[in-house]
DNA sequence: ATTAAAAAATGACATTTGTCAATCTTAAAG
DNA sequence: CTTTAAGATTGACAAATGTCATTTTTTAAT
């Protein structure tokens, strides 16, 4: 697929005329990376806007003790870069971005993109929506991390997406929830001890859905 | 000051024509509140967009143990509401908003605002910038909370804004940094014991600016 | 200057979660 | 079916911070 075809296939750009797409092509390059590639590191700047065409990425930070803190996934067909100021012509990275699947990335010259497509309101709404999505992810993260303790985090994840929970390795779930595998293991055995879940051949089964939900919903009567 | 004059005085609306401002006036109301008023609670929905004209507000959440978690201040001349999706016609509150000074608030009918001013790209860039500002505040919060321990948080605050630190009550600083007053007190005496700061009549004085900065900058060689 | 109230500091202790090594379990490979 | 390696669990312990009551200090009011 050519660059132009790739761009045309993306929802984000569907409002553009063919002429505008040609213009976009001139300031854009398409890149292919294998999984595990680090796209960029936190606290660095870039002149290019990154957009994930296909594949999967994750955003994470490093804490004081050199532990990784998983922030969120970035799914295909969405903006990767974390824009912080419309007035600035470069992009500052708050987090590290690692590709966790073979991915296709668009790199767009930000300054020109801004001038041709944002200042003229061509893609302004789509752009804003992308930023809102990212903001929403951060809000969820804050919820999970500040409001919830380890038991709540695990309960919520099991309640919300049991399938994913059972598919992933315990180690990866722990990383996502920002707790240690040992802690996750202890939380699970506690939930089992209280007859809220059961674990058969390593697979989690919900036994008391209400109680599970109550763990993280009922902040008050705890 | 009339509603129209208030709107015209705001930077956010300065790109609007007089005709557009009249239109905006029709879907907007101006409200005055005293300090301590809770503007809205988390997990509620609204059909109106709130905008802080003058005064000061703070955004906070309540954690599992009924502790308040200070998120950030909201300064005058900025959007209060936390928009999460351009496609939705209502606004969902992620956090509680309390006014901490006597304030003037604009309440704008969101659906109409969206149709007249966002969908037509009239205020799209200003709106996006507001969302970016909020996003930036959340990023800073995540940085502080995940990456920093109590000593780093306090050091950074003293280094960045000693004046504010000395002006505020210890209790309020603790709330902002999301630590207990007792912990703050212990951190301060530790910094004093290490000759990094001094405390005279309750006022903090920096004695070793480099060491202070090093505490939170050098994540690696710790 | 004295007193009352508010704010801050301190001590004792609890709680949560992390750390790390040892052990057990499961799944994969031969 | 056995062997091996990865993954998960468990125990022992440590670290950071929270909790709460008590004491001290500071500030404000009389």
Residue A64 has pLDDT above 80, yes or no: no
Q: Which residues of A8-35 are buried (b: 16+ CB within 10 A; e: fewer)?
A: eebebbeebeeebbebbbebbebeebee
Q: What does each C-alpha distance from A142 to A160, A177, A214, B84, B123 come to in angstroms?
A: 17, 12, 20, 15, 29
Q: Where are the domains of chain A?
A: 3-123, 148-216
pLDDT in tens, B17-36: 999 999 999 999 999 999 88
- What are the residues whose beta carbons fall under 8 Å from the beta carbon of B71, sequence distance 6 or more? A142, B58, B59, B60, B61, B95, B137, B138, B141
B168 touches strand D (CB under 7 A): no
Question: CATH 1.10.10.10: does it fit domain A148-216?
Answer: yes
**Mean pLDDT of chain B, nearest integer:** 93
Average pLDDT over residues B177-199: 95
The sign of the CA dihedral A115, A120, A126, A130 is positive
B151 touches strand D (CB under 7 A): yes
pTM for this structure? Answer: 0.89
Q: What percentage of chain A reaches a pLDDT higher than 90?
A: 86
Question: CATH 2.60.120.10: does it fit domain B3-123?
Answer: yes
Q: What does each C-alpha distance from A45 to A91, A93, A94, A101 come to in angstroms?
A: 5, 6, 9, 24
Average pLDDT over residues B2-22: 95
Chain B interface, best mutation among A135, A136, A141, A177, by max B CB count within 10 A:
A135
Same fold? B3-123, B148-216: no
B178 touches strand D (CB under 7 A): yes
* Residues from chain A contacting residue B62 (CB–CB below 8 Å): 147, 219
Q: Which of A32-46, A61-75, A124-138, B10-24 has the lowest mean pLDDT?
A: A61-75
């Amino acid at each position: 697929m050519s660059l132009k075809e790739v761009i045309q296939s993306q929802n984000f750009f569907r409002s553009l005329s063919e002429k505008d797409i040609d213009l976009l092509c001139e300031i854009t390059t398409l890149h292919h990376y294998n999984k595990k590639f680090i796209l960029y590191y936190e606290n660095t700047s870039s002149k290019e806007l990154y957009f994930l065409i296909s594949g999967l990425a994750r955003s994470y930070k490093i804490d004081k003790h050199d532990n990784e803190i998983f922030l969120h996934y970035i799914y295909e067909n969405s903006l990767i870069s974390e824009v912080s100021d419309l007035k600035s012509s470069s992009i500052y990275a708050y987090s590290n971005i690692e590709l966790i699947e073979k991915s296709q990335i668009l790199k767009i010259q930000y300054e020109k993109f801004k001038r041709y497509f944002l200042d003229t309101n061509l893609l302004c709404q789509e752009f804003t929506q992308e930023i809102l999505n990212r903001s929403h992810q951060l809000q969820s993260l804050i919820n999970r991390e500040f409001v919830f303790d380890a038991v709540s985090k695990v309960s919520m994840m099991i309640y919300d997406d049991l399938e994913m929970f059972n598919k992933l390795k315990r180690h990866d779930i722990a990383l996502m929830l920002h707790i240690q595998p040992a802690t996750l293991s202890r939380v699970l055995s506690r939930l089992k001890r209280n007859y809220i879940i059961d674990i058969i051949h390593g697979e989690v089964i919900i036994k008391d859905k209400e109680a599970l939900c109550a763990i993280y919903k009922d902040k008050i009567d705890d």
